[in-house]
Structure 1
Amino acid sequence: MNTFLEVIKDLWQFALEQLSFSDSTEVASTTRQTVNELKPAPVVQIARPDTEKRIALPLHTAGTGVYVSVPEASVFYRPVLTYDGVVRRLPYATGLTVLGFEGRFARVVVGDTTGFVLKDDITEQKKDIFPEFLSEEIYSNNHPDTKKVRTYLKDEFFAEPLYLPLQAVEFVLYRLRFEGRDISWPSERPRLAGRWQTILKGRTGIQIGVMPKASAVMEFLKPDGTGFVGYTKAVHVDDSIVLQGVGRLIEGEYREEIVSKEVWHEWRPVWISVS
């Protein structure tokens, strides 16, 4: 009898263990399924539509007129940076024509010289080279157009290291050189506004008079004793003038203004013509 009871007890214990194992397996399976469902989906990089991709366009086009955009560009006899390979050096703003391309170089012609320049040293955009002056705007030392003027002049007046705003003499000299006219300066310094007529008197290519002339430099002393030079853009039939200049009223300020004869006569100016 006792033996029979022991067998029944063992069978009952076995049945309970099987039921417990089955439940545990089901719970574990359910848990794994839930965890898998909660796992975040992998990050997928969605490619931008073709319309949003940056389109690589050629920097220049063959046959295009371009300008030197650095203080000095080297023209090489072949498209490689090599020892003694420079046949000519071109200053800032020099105009040249692109003939074609080879790698990082552009084949160009300027005057009677044909050679290769770095594409990074030239630009088609005239606005990137030459300033665009706006009346009553202040041209500080950091103004982009001030930097263009000084690069064009090779900072002849040493103004940039002194953090000076654009000066009247810089503007006028830029205007003259832009038109292909330059002044043969003597060694006398400084070439301050108000001293030009004295420094340039008797120099070749210089004419000084008291009547207004278009495309001439106008110079006079202001009431505070400082000098001013401006560029006479035009002279009207009534002797009023169109005057362009920097710093007449406010330091660094560019102004283009029509000045009547009655007003400029009070300034007692002279006009310096540069041929």
Structure 2
Amino acid sequence: MQAISVGDFESAKKLVSDVFHGSSDRNSDVSMEGSLLYHMAMVSKMGSEHKIVLEELKVEAPQVQDKLWRFYTDFVSDAKELLKDIVTIDENIVKAVKSAVPDSDEKIEFYRKLNEKTKKVEEMLDRKVPEAQKEIQNLFKEWTLQIVEMRLRQEYETIKGFLIIEKLAEKIGIQKVAKTMQQVQKKFGDKTVDSAFEVSLKVGLPKEKLQKLMLSDHFIEFKMDIKNLGGFMRFLNCPIYGSHKYMEDQQNKDIKTGQLFCKIFCKSHAQSMFEKFIPFPIAVSQPAIM
């Protein structure tokens, strides 16, 4: 905003590009578009976890609605507090999670509409139009609200999946649940990665940028061994683990299902991701505390 007010439209355009599309700097933020695409993919991933287990076991989903809404509203409360100086999260966004998860075509349409508006703002900056200042503010709010909605959907599906698997473990035993997850982990990893690729590549995101999208939610230690054609990747944090741990602590139950997601599904998802775009083996690991 300050750059536009003094007529420095070149600096303003670069900043807009960095914020919405991302910078080439390897340590830079993933950008608004990167964050949106990441959380879109995660909505589908988290929503698939319990479904693929239920399908394999050929059983109906147990009722978890009361606890689901309780834990979800806890998360919403935190989100509102953290974002209170940036954007207001109204009830329409909070309750949007009750509608069906957007399919690939809908996600692509969400992205394209925002991207078209971004292009129009960039064109205004090219023409040195002072009114671009207000349009940038409106654009930032639109992107932010769409990202917030996807992040809320992601958390809703995370909580729902955890509670359903927990109920199943209580009914049929955690060993049978673990065995089932292991049986479908490859299928799960490939399916969720294919879904993420479909959306990201169709909207024009270069394949080499996909790995960076994971930085939307994670701190990652990543090392390559070019000489021996190998490498490893270690997740140093995980909001999914944090969510599962919170629910386990709140309920104080003996059955601990959170680790199953981490050790089986999340690992298989990451492994499938690397198999798609790195032409040599990558080992995926997690810290012992997780």
User: What is the TM-score normalised by the length of structure 1?
Assistant: 0.22
Instruction: Flag the structure with higher helix content.
Output: 2
Which structure's CA Rg is the greater one? 1
Instruction: Flag the structure with higher strand content.
Output: 1
